[in-house]
Amino acid sequence: MTLTVLKRIIRSGLLSFKRSGLVSWAAVLVVTITLSVITLIIFLQAILNFSLSQIKDKVDVTIYFTVGAPEEKIEALQSSLEKLPEVASVSYTSADEALALFRERHKSDYPTIQALDEIGENPLGAYLNIKAKEVSQYESIANFLKSDNALVLGSASIIDKVNYYQNKLVIDRLNTIISGAQKLGFLITLILVIISIIITFNTIRLTIFISKEEISVMRLVGASKAQVRGPFMIEGVIYGIIATLITVFLFWPAAAWVGSNMTNFLGIDMYSYYLSNFFQIFAILLLSGIILGIISSILAARRYLNK
């Protein structure tokens, strides 16, 4: 395709957009609604991911050691755990720190504090707190601790208990909830996008129906399919660009309002999220709008090109 033909196609597309008037703006409105749905999905995914990450941060496995367990053995076990690919972090709390934390938690419980003072020595042992990269990986870490792996050989005697087995039911349920939420989010996204594409396709088909006689004349005088389809593809690009600009500016004040009024409820400042991810969101919407407009134009014009 020569540059001259390309310029003609672009000019023809712009003229067709102007000439279609209200129908063109109706198509822009539909694409705007579609992009608004996509933006809402992006926001919902951000809220879901933030909520899931908050829940994941509250899940952990703690290894409690016997009183007086040698620190070199604890450090060896910590080192071996940190080498596991499933482990995100391992934090060590000494026996003295454990006692100080216990006293702080029970500072209003005078009988407990008095009992500690009467004992005269630290009844608590040190412990390791383990966080996995994924909730589903805690069982693998627990199995590692039960195994006779050479890295932890001789460490079993210093371990008092591992709280994974007390928390296993909660961890398994949480893993199921996270997996189900992610699948549900993907399914809802897919359904909404399909519905939006169908609506956009039908609206753009209406604009092409108005030009069906013009298409027939162009075919009679020998215009190629690319020359006939080109102006409608340009129209689709125009729909996508205008709809993207409208969408990002509509969501700017909306995100500001949600950020100032619902941050405590949602747990995430949507306005800060919108600003920090503005260019990514803009790129996603622009690409989605252009692709949606082009594909819908190609599909809608195909029936007239095949006549």
DSSP string covering 243-289:
HHHHHHHHHHHHHHHHHHHSHHHHSS-HHHHHHHTHHHHHHHHHHHH
Element (H, E) at 161: strand 159-162
Q: Which CATH number fits domain 59-166: 3.40.50.150, 3.30.70.3040, 3.30.70.260, 2.40.40.20?
A: 3.30.70.3040
The boundaries of every CATH 3.30.70.3040 domain in the chain are 59-166
pLDDT at residue 283, as a whole number: 92
Q: Which neighbouring-strand residues pair with 92?
A: 128
Helix/strand/coil for 63: strand
Helix/strand/coil for 198: helix
Helix/strand/coil for 39: helix
**Residues contacting 111, CB < 8 A, separation 6+:** none
Sheet of strand 159-162: strand arrangement = 87-93, 127-132, 61-65, 159-162
Distance CA 41, CA 34 (A): 11
Phi, psi of 259 (to 5 degrees): -65, -35
pLDDT at residue 17, as a whole number: 74
Q: Taking the CA of residue 223 as centre, how many other CA atoms within 13 Å lie in the half-sphere pointing to its CB?
A: 18
Distance CA 141, CA 162 (A): 11
The rounded Cα 173 to chain-centroid distance in angstroms is 21
Distances (CA, A) of 206 to 235, 260, 299, 301: 13, 41, 12, 10
What six digits make up the tokens of 249? 């500016």
pLDDT at residue 264, as a whole number: 73
pLDDT at residue 150, as a whole number: 38
Let me know if 141 is exposed, middle or buried by CB neighbors in 10 A (0-12, 13-18, 19+). buried
Q: Are 145 and 162 in contact (CB under 8 A)?
A: yes
Question: Where are the alpha helices (H) located in 59-106, listed in sequence order?
Answer: 71-82, 95-105
Cβ neighbours of 216 (radius 10 Å) = 12
Cβ neighbours of 232 (radius 10 Å) = 27
Element (H, E) at 131: strand 127-132
pLDDT in tens, the chain (307 residues): 577 767 777 777 777 777 767 777 877 888 888 888 888 888 888 887 787 777 777 777 888 888 888 888 888 888 888 888 888 889 998 888 888 888 888 777 777 777 777 777 778 888 888 888 887 788 888 888 776 553 455 555 678 788 876 767 777 777 777 777 778 777 877 787 777 677 767 766 776 676 666 666 666 666 666 677 777 788 888 888 999 999 999 999 888 888 888 777 777 888 888 889 999 999 999 998 888 777 777 776 666 655 5
Element (H, E) at 183: helix 164-210
Cα dihedral 192, 257, 58, 138 sign: positive
